[in-house]
Structure 1
């Protein structure tokens, strides 16, 4: 059986083999690749994998092998996923002819190359798409209760580039139109939540839905567990917050309330968010959302208790989870955020907005706490409830984190999920026209 993956970014091992800069993204693809290859070797399966991914470094397709599997880095002139690039069709056609796949697996629907692959391969019965997020739905939640002046306002930088939040959301809608074409052109959908099930059924009711949970990055399976006696007390960790969907503005508002009761509280934000507000030059470079975050920090007097971290690799992320007193996912929309899954796997106390597919991951009051996404006062309450439990009822908090860990172990069982994926491929391969 020959399977061709279309992935949105090369995994680190591919970057190294292809001579490309290592990217800290698509962690679930790395997890799936490692587990799938281990299973194929163990079962001595007749399985050939080819991987296609976009790259911006060389104008020709980069070809090579990784662990005996072919890879193809096709060239993209610009990183503008809201614009369809007709030239991609010829490049993907070349890869399809070289790989000659029985099954094409498109890992994520958010980019224009997914629509190009569906057009070129043109075999819905042999095409399966995995749902990560859905830009066509995310666009509806993009503004995340921001004030009107922030939604439509411009900084100098926004005016020059014409990409304030209003234009950013328009780009999401454009991506969503191509995403719908991708989903309608696939005969099979792989998902893992009630949310992605109904959202894709509404776009393509004829597609067959296959359940398969994801696989986390390797370092989260080494048995490491959070310890309340070793964490940094009253420290909150958020994995990213560069754009409104991730809800950092909600977190900052909640932090202002938490400080009234816990003056020593600290917030750490990963992902490379930059709010350098010092001097005219830095302010001219700010986007409107970043300026709004800076204003919230000033409004709630948070300058001394918020730390912005660069993008972190898997081991660095794990270290940050384990040091934290609580992990928070304050997004306005998610499918099933892997950051939440990683925190649960480590047994870190979790608080998450109840959006998208989060309800399939975290059971409120049993494994952590969930809250209405636009109620930051409830986010503040549940964070403080974790602080209180640690001080007054350690056993209850331990039970909660144990339950979350057990749930994560079932959800992200690498062997089971790799076997499930292989069975999905086999079933699709057996389908006749």
Structure 2
């Protein structure tokens, strides 16, 4: 069986081919590839776009890695452009897939790859994020006056103010609907995601598979005695969906009670930019968050870690006291799952498909996204109660390790592929 993966970023050997550094997103694709790459009876082709003029192809682990040339950035990629369609048609000729596996609906290259074969090749979409719901919740907790007040020149120049970003997500959601209806097969983790898919593509076939997690997180174990007391780790941010504006409001309340509290934020950030060029590049969202930080004098309590590898992430999580997932919308939140696997006590906003595996009061605590007071109270509760922190952390670790590492990605995906191929043969 020949399976073509269409990814929205280079993974595995493709990063080496294109001389690119590690990415903090899409770790589940790397983990899935590591599990599937030597499976008997399956050959993978991994394809994504790059800024170049010709198709690049190399072989690694017996699988094909294909860099598809593009004259456009991934954000402005046109799925109806004749050049783009021709390049994906060439990829299909080169690899001859039996089935196409689309990783996510976020970018137009997925739609272009599907259009290139005119429905002749069976396809399945792995849902990474539901764009229609991301659009619905994009600016939650940020009033229109604040969106205008903190607008920056770079965002004005690029037509990228927060409400414009929200509208872009709505446009992307229209493309998402096309992708789901063409592929007509989706892989989801939660019932929440399945319901959203059926609302968009009522006749699509839904397959369930748990999100693959890098096993490196299971090599680290949170320990109350060894953790940095009153420290918090959170998900990488950069845009409103990740909820850092609400987290900052909650953190301000925590710092009043614990002046030594620290908040560790992973990922590239321009939040504390000092030089002129960096300040001019600050986004509206960064400026808004910084206004909250400055108002409550939190500058000395926040640590920007920069980009972290999976192992660095696991190590940093294991050293903190509490983990918070503050997003306004999430399909599954790999970051929360990774934290639970390490065993740190966690708190999560009650959003999206999280409740499929996260149980309030058992393996973590929920709060409503727009209630930072409750979030602050839960953080303080963990700080005060050693036994509670250890109990919740241990329960989360035990359940998630049992769930995630009992998964055989080989069996899950191959079974799904074979089911789709059999259906395709029957219907054609």
User: 1:45-64: per-residue Cα shift (whole Å, max 9, x none)?
Assistant: 311111111222x2211111
Match runs of 1:256-267 below 5 Å? 256-267=252-263
Structure 1 equivalent of residue 15 of structure 2: 15
- Kindly indicate whether the alpha-carbon contact (under 8 Å) linking 1:274 and 1:290 is maintained by their aligned counterparts in 2: yes
Structure 2 equivalent of residue 250 of structure 1: 246
Give the secondary-structure state (helix, strand or coil) at the position aligned to 1:121: coil
Which of 374, 377, 380 matches 1:381? 377
Which of 166, 173, 177 matches 1:169? 166
Which of 393, 398, 404 matches 1:406? 398
Residue segments in structure 2 that go unaligned for 5+ positions in a row: none
TM-score, length-scaled by structure 1? 0.93
Instruction: Provide the rounded CA distance (Å) in 2 between the counterparts of 1:237 and 1:208.
Output: 38
Deviation at 1:241, TM superposition (A): 1.5
Deviation at 1:125, TM superposition (A): 7.3
Runs (4 or more) in structure 1 with deviation over 6 Å come to none
Match runs of 1:160-199 below 5 Å? 160-199=157-196
Which of 49, 55, 59 matches 1:54? 49
Deviation at 1:156, TM superposition (A): 1.9
Instruction: Provide the rounded CA distance (Å) in 2 between the counterparts of 1:264 and 1:97.
Output: 60
TM-score, length-scaled by structure 2? 0.94
Q: Does 1:229 align with 2:221?
A: no
Deviation at 1:122, TM superposition (A): 2.9
Q: Does 1:215 align with 2:207?
A: no
Larger displacement relative to structure 2 (122-131 or 102-111):
122-131
Q: Does 1:33 align with 2:33?
A: yes
Larger displacement relative to structure 2 (68-77 or 200-209):
68-77
Which of 359, 366, 371 matches 1:370? 366
Q: Indicate how the Cα distance of structure 1 residues 306 and 247 shifts in structure 2: closer, same or farther if over 3 A, else same.
A: same
Q: Does 1:347 align with 2:343?
A: yes
Q: CA RMSD in A?
A: 1.7
Deviation at 1:341, TM superposition (A): 0.7
Length, aligned pairs only = 421
Residue segments in structure 1 that go unaligned for 5+ positions in a row: none
Give the secondary-structure state (helix, strand or coil) at the position aligned to 1:175: helix
Give the secondary-structure state (helix, strand or coil) at the position aligned to 1:318: helix
- Kindly indicate whether the alpha-carbon contact (under 8 Å) linking 1:12 and 1:22 is maintained by their aligned counterparts in 2: no
- Kindly indicate whether the alpha-carbon contact (under 8 Å) linking 1:50 and 1:71 is maintained by their aligned counterparts in 2: yes
Q: Indicate how the Cα distance of structure 1 residues 94 and 229 shifts in structure 2: closer, same or farther if over 3 A, else same.
A: same
Structure 1 equivalent of residue 323 of structure 2: 327
Q: Indicate how the Cα distance of structure 1 residues 419 and 221 shifts in structure 2: closer, same or farther if over 3 A, else same.
A: farther
Deviation at 1:293, TM superposition (A): 1.0
User: 1:362-391: per-residue Cα shift (whole Å, max 9, x none)?
Assistant: 11100011110111111111111111222x
Match runs of 1:69-84 below 5 Å? 69-81=63-75, 84=78
Structure 2 equivalent of residue 422 of structure 1: 414
- Kindly indicate whether the alpha-carbon contact (under 8 Å) linking 1:14 and 1:66 is maintained by their aligned counterparts in 2: no
- Kindly indicate whether the alpha-carbon contact (under 8 Å) linking 1:82 and 1:175 is maintained by their aligned counterparts in 2: no
